[in-house]
Amino acid sequence: MRRDIFQAIADPTRRAIIALIAVQAMTPNAIAENFNSTRQAVSKHLRILAECELVKQEQQGREIYYSLEIEKMKEIDKWLEQYRAIWEAQFNQLDNVLIKLKNQKK
Amino acid sequence: MRRDIFQAIADPTRRAIIALIAVQAMTPNAIAENFNSTRQAVSKHLRILAECELVKQEQQGREIYYSLEIEKMKEIDKWLEQYRAIWEAQFNQLDNVLIKLKNQKK
DNA sequence: ATATTATGAAACTATTTGGTTGCAAATATA
DNA sequence: TATATTTGCAACCAAATAGTTTCATAATAT
C-alpha cells in the first residue's frame, strides 16, 4: 500500500477535493455534494489524503471538518526544486544567447 | 487510461527515471541498469512518460536516447502556484504577528 | 550472410485502485 | 426515548497498473 503525496495527488478527484478544502474547511457530506460519486467514495479519498497527512480533521459534534494541510504541499515544491533549477539555468542560457545576438548587432 | 503528468509522477520508479535522464540523455538499457526490474518494465515506464510528453526521444542508430522534457515539468509548478500563494499568505500573516510582538516589546 | 545487440509490442498475471452497497457507532432532534 | 443525521468501516467488484516472459524488427558487428 503505497501512500505518499505523489500517489495522493495522482487522482483527479483528490486534486479537486484538495482545491475545495484549500478555500475552507468542509464536511465529507458537503464535499461529496460536489461530485457524482457516493459519499463513501469521497470518504475513502479523504482517508487516503489523511493517511499521507495532506488534510487535517476537526471534529465538531457529529460533523468532521476537513481542511488542507498546506505544509505538506511544500513537499511537492521541494521535489520540484531540482527541476526548477534546470529550467532556470536553461532560461539563463537563452538569456545569454539573446545578449550575444544583441552585441553582434552593434 | 488516464495519462496525465500527475499520474506519471505518481510511480516512484518513474520519478527515479526522470531524475536520471534530467542529468543526461540515456538509452533504455542504460536506464534499466539502475533498477532491479527488467528492461521491458522500464521501457513501459518510458512509454508512459513519452505519452504525456515528459520525455523526448532521439534516435541514434539503433539506440534511442531519452531525455527530460523540462518544459512539461512546469505544469506541476503551475498547479502548485495556487497553493504556494496560500502558504506565502500564511507566512506573511505570521510575519505580521512577529512584527506586532516586536512592537509590543518596545 | 550470419550473429549480436537494442528496442518496442503483445500476451499474460498478480496486485492495487476506485467505486459500490450495507452496516454500525455517535450525535442531534422530535 | 425514539428517530434522524453524519460519519467511518468492511465486503465485494470491475478496471487499471506494474510487472513478467516471449516474440518481432531493425541496426550493427563479425
DSSP annotation of A53 reads T
Mean pLDDT, residues B90-106: 70
Residues in A touching B2 (Cβ below 8 Å) = 12
- Interchain proximity A84–B77, CB inside 8 Å: yes
pLDDT higher than 70, residue B94 = no
Give the cell for residue B69.
522534457
The 10s digit of each residue's pLDDT in A51-78 is 999 999 999 999 999 999 999 999 999 9
Q: Give SS3 for A69.
A: coil
Neighbour-count burial of A26, counting CB atoms closer than 10 A to its CB (0-12 exposed, 13-18 middle, 19+ buried)? buried
Q: How far is CA B1 from the centre of its chain?
A: 20
Q: What integer pLDDT is reported at residue A105 of this predicted model?
A: 62
Q: What is the pLDDT, as a whole number, of residue B64?
A: 98
- Between A98 and B80, whose confidence is greater? B80
pLDDT band at B106; cut points 50, 70, 90: low
What is the domain partition of chain A in residue ranges? 5-105
Question: Over the stretch B36-87, which tens digit does the pLDDT of each residue have?
Answer: 999 999 999 999 999 999 999 999 999 999 999 999 999 999 999 999 999 9
What residues have CB less than 8 Å from A80, skipping those under 6 apart? B73, B76, B77, B80
Predicted pLDDT of residue B93: 76
- Best interface-test mutation with B: which of A49, A73, A78 has the largest number of B CBs within 10 A? A73
pLDDT of residue B1: 57
- What is the CATH number assigned to the segment(s) A5-105? 1.10.10.10
Q: Is the dihedral of CA B81, B87, B92, B93 positive or negative?
A: positive
Is residue A48 over pLDDT 80? Answer: yes
pLDDT at position A2: 58
Give A60-65's long-range contacts (Cβ < 8 A, gap of 24+). Answer: A63/A27, A64/A27, A64/A28, A65/A25, A65/A26, A65/A27
d(CA B46, CA B14): 8
Q: Would you call B87 and A74 a contact, using CB atoms and an 8 Å cutoff?
A: yes
Instruction: Using an 8 Å CB-CB cutoff, list residues of chain B that contact chain A.
Output: 2, 4, 6-7, 9-10, 12, 15, 19, 22, 68, 70-71, 73-74, 76-77, 79-80, 82-84, 86-87, 90
